[in-house]
Structure 1
């Protein structure tokens, strides 16, 4: 049985009238939490946001710059840290 199948099973059983419906409801929440943690621990590539920095607004002289961002929440990703400081997503280094 896969994790998704176990989640679906618990969803069905938690809606029923059997004695163990409450236990299935609790197990369902634990499995959903586990799946989210597992997904967060799978490294994801940072998104690179490019933009133009202007040294002088009067002359509009600019240069291209890039900022790495978390692919999940969009927070700026520091190159020395392997996890997003906002959502905890593991990032590829």
Structure 2
């Protein structure tokens, strides 16, 4: 079952986001899903919010997210965000262009 995941990064900005993306992709950047080493990501959006930065994603399954978390979890911990707890809800509906 698809899930919607929201990561709120209080006190963080685009610099932290860009650093995480750089480390996850080995410096290649992220402009298409093939840039990521894991599969299962359906959509990804990120941007500033009051007091921080937010990333919202749709994943094919919780298992796909868990596999990806093995990669980005340690990176976030290394950057001082080990306690990041995303909000996860089941996706009732999503549309892909």
Tell whether the structures are fold-level matches, with TM greater than 0.5.
no
Give TM-score, length-normalised by structure 1. Answer: 0.23
Which structure features the higher share of strand residues?
Answer: 2
Larger radius of gyration: 1
Relative contact order, CA 8 A, sep 6+: which one is greater?
2
Q: TM-score, normalised by structure 2?
A: 0.22
